[in-house]
Amino acid sequence: MYQFSLGLETLLEKVRIKSESLGQMTLGTEYLLEEMMRIDDGIFHFLMNEYDVDIKEVIEESEKILVLRKRGSKYSNTLDSIFKYATNLSYGKIKEEHLLLAILECKDSIALQIIMNLGLSPHDLIVDLEEIYDFKEYKGEEVKFTTNLTEKARNNEFDGLFEYDNYLQKLEVVLNKKYKNNPLIIGEAGVGKSAIVEGYASFLIKEGRPGEVLELNLSQMLANTKYRGDFEGRIEEVLGYLKNQKSSILFIDEIHTIMGAGSAENSLDVANILKPFLARSDLKIIGATTLEEYHKTIYKDKALRRRFDPILVKEPDLITTKRIIKGLKESYSLFHKKEITDETLNYLIEESDRVILNKARPDKCIDILDEVMSYANCNQLEIDSNLIDYILEEHIGYKKDMKNLHYKELSKLSFLSENNLKETNNYNYHLALEDDDESLKLLKEDLKTLFGFNEELTLELDLSQYQDNASMQTLLGAPPGYVGYQEEGILSKQILKYPMSLLILRNTSDISAAFKNLYQKIINEGFFYDNAGNRIYTRHLVILDLVKIKEKTSVGFIKNDVIDNVDFDIMLYKKPDLNLLTSSYEELFLKYNLNVKLDFKVRPKHKKALNTIIYDLLTNQDKNEYEITLENLRPVLVKH
């Protein structure tokens, strides 16, 4: 009749034995609290400790009440009402917390009278319980810890699904199989796995099919899971309820996150809970995960793997992506109240696809469309290619500003980019600079002006430190089976976090064979593989080799001990333009009306002394005329 958790079944059996020993054949509520107090890790025991109530007090209050009850059904009418209320809270097996809340809510029970006789407030206890547990009584279409996707589709809350009819058909076929009718949608992040399920919910509404698609809300389910087994218990509750709803389909996105598969002691391993439900046809589950996570978790568990039917979702090509986004165009235009022409939309899609490399189509293009329209709406702008360029530059950190550069040759980078003259599969910029600290400092200032590079976006590697496999692992991460496998390498982490980065290579003459292979992969192919086999694109890197030039061969080519005839975009073998730094100080003198002249070109190493001189003159309000010489770097009074 009622479904109880194993712990509650044991408790009720003890209550039954005690009741019968005292001549009570019909079970009531009078001895429930006493047995609940005997559960040391139970919620009632915990709350009574909070209110300084011990088991002796509970027993004393229970014994004060004389109960005369006629022999009748298994449970008293009051206890029957309590169980019905608790069932609505549990969606399946009743646990102690459901029983306790039901006792507190049902006003005519003996158990509630005992609680009040102890001087406790039922209202306060209800508040305490609801701070620990997320109770929500079932009201028809609502199911605790889930989001009803079919209801959202009924309310037209989804944008629509375009160009994915083949995946919808596959999903429909798998769900209607007699056996192995649990689809597992596998694809990289951003290819549209969730959109397919949302599209299926819309399909059910459009076709008038029975059924509800419910998405498991993991954040709600994980909230306040303070005790071991709480999370698993909540999974059981939801599955236990849904198995009785013949047309319900449960969607679990990122299903690998609740599948520990024995990978860690504290992992949320619910594979054994899911297997019995997956084996039967009375409950259908749609899972979604990436190919990498599928192999890490579900694939390793043969019994679990057999219960899913995989549907592999590939990244759509650029032409298909254009059709998808053109289908979404009206929805985004209505939401943002902005229009975009088909020509401009094509430009947005093509540039988003070209520039954003470590995300998949169509999501990366949809994200840029959403942001462009939002920015245009907030700033009352028309959507054109310039606005799209600005938003994309904000994403990757690329800034087109060729003014005030120490190295004027860097303007070539803008020329190459704006005219699409870079190799199709290699968008990184490759520079060479003679190994000189002063020149490097000025070049870093220029690159900060151009690309916004700060220290966080800069990674400097001394190649003499990467001579063996162990040191290379610090760059790419340790391989499977080695200590630190779960941690990313220095290089892979930098590029994944900041695709637009400055990579400075020192001591290139000491390059090892292993690093040289990595170097050539980055330069020639625009990507490399990390320890987990993930392809990491490097097409937005600015790579700077600090070299000791021995022989300049032809324009853009150098020779050194190891890197022969490397084709650089720019080789900066000339000294930087020092007029820029000198001019900036001369402008400063004019700004503060200082009568100061310089008889030398300012270098970075002079800045500290010059800054002190200027500050002292300003502080002392000295209006005399001075000349600063390189010989002593101090102001000399000019006599007339």
DSSP characters for 262-278? TSSTT----HHHHHHHH
pLDDT at res. 222: 73
Q: Which residue has the higher pLDDT, 397 or 271?
A: 271
Supply the pLDDT for residue 554.
40
For residue 234 the two structure tokens come to 């909540």
pLDDT surpassing 50 at residue 557: no
Per-residue pLDDT band at 411 (split at 50, 70, 90): confident
CB atoms within 10 A of CB 576: 24
pLDDT of residue 486: 64
Going across the sheet that includes 542-547, the strands are 458-462, 502-506, 542-547, 429-434, 570-572
The more confidently predicted of residues 5 and 482 is: 5
Q: Alpha-carbon distance 542 to 264, whole Å?
A: 39
What is the mean pLDDT of the segment spanning 178-196?
Answer: 92
Q: What pLDDT is attached to residue 617?
A: 80
Name which of 287, 278, 292, 285 is nearest 310 in CA terms. 287
- Judged against a pLDDT cut of 80, whether residue 544 lies above it is answered with yes
Please tell me the pTM assigned to this model.
Answer: 0.57
Give the angle subtended at the CA of 325 by the CAs of 322 and 328, to the nearest 5°: 155
Contact between residue 402 and residue 504 where contact means Cβ atoms under 8 Å apart: no
CATH 1.10.8.60 in the chain is located at 318-395
Going by pLDDT thresholds of 50, 70 and 90, the confidence category of residue 383 is: very high
Looking at mean pLDDT, say which of 144-153, 183-192, 514-523 comes out highest. 183-192
Residue 544 belongs to what H/E stretch? strand 542-547
Pick the residue with more confidence: 190 or 636?
A: 190
pLDDT value of residue 620: 81
Q: What pLDDT score does 240 carry?
A: 74
Is pLDDT at 135 greater than 90 in this prediction? Answer: no
In the CATH hierarchy, which top-level class contains the domain 408-572? alpha beta
User: Alpha-carbon distance 108 to 126, whole Å?
Assistant: 16
Q: Check pLDDT > 80 for residue 98.
A: yes
Helices (H) then strands (E): counts for the chain: 27, 19
- Preceding peptide of 316 cis, ω within 30°: no
- The pLDDT score that the predictor gives to residue 637 is 57
Q: Note the pLDDT tens digit of each residue in 243-267.
A: 766 678 999 999 988 775 333 444 4
Given CATH 1.10.8.60, say whether it is the number of domain 318-395: yes
Q: So what's the pLDDT on residue 638? A: 59
Q: What is the pLDDT of residues 9-55, one digit of tens each?
A: 889 999 889 888 877 777 878 888 989 999 888 899 999 999 999 99
- Of the pLDDT bands very low, low, confident and very high (cuts 50, 70, 90), residue 563 is very low
CA 517 → CA 494, 522, 529, distances in Å? 19, 9, 12
Per-residue pLDDT tens for 571-597? 886 666 667 678 778 888 888 888 888
Q: Which of 72-76, 84-88, 109-113, 488-492 comes out lowest in average pLDDT?
A: 72-76
CATH hierarchy code of domain 146-312: 3.40.50.300
What's the confidence (pLDDT) of residue 556? 41
Q: Taking 60 as the threshold, does the pLDDT of residue 421 lie above it?
A: yes
* Residue 136, Cβ density class (10 Å: 0-12 exposed, 13-18 middle, ≥19 buried): middle
Read off the pLDDT of each residue in 462-488 and give the average, rounded to a whole number.
Answer: 80
CATH topology of domain 6-132: Double Clp-N motif (1.10.1780)
Residue 537 vs residues 105, 448, 520, 605: alpha-carbon distances, Å: 59, 22, 13, 37
pLDDT tens digits, residue range 194-220?
Answer: 999 999 999 988 888 877 899 998 777
Report the chain's mean pLDDT, rounded to a whole number: 82
For 609-628, what is each residue's pLDDT tens digit? 888 888 888 888 767 787 88
C-alpha–C-alpha distance, residues 428 and 288, integer Å = 34
| pLDDT value, residue 558 | 42
State the span(s) of the chain assigned CATH 1.10.1780.10: 6-132
Residue that is written with structure tokens 């003890």 in the block: 14
Q: Which of 387, 325, 400, 395 is nearest to 357 (CA)?
A: 395
Q: Does the pLDDT value for residue 89 go beyond 90?
A: no
What integer pLDDT is reported at residue 481 of this predicted model?
61
Tokens coding 371 = 């942001």
% of the chain with per-residue pLDDT over 90: 29
List pLDDT tens digits, range 443-460. 888 888 777 788 889 999
Q: Give me the pLDDT at residue 139, please.
A: 43
Q: What's the pLDDT band for 355 if we cut at 50, 70, 90?
A: confident
User: pLDDT tier at 555 (50, 70, 90 boundaries)?
Assistant: very low
Q: Which pLDDT score is estimated for 183?
A: 96
pLDDT confidence of residue 552: 44
Question: What residues does CATH 3.40.50.300 cover in the chain?
Answer: 146-312, 408-572
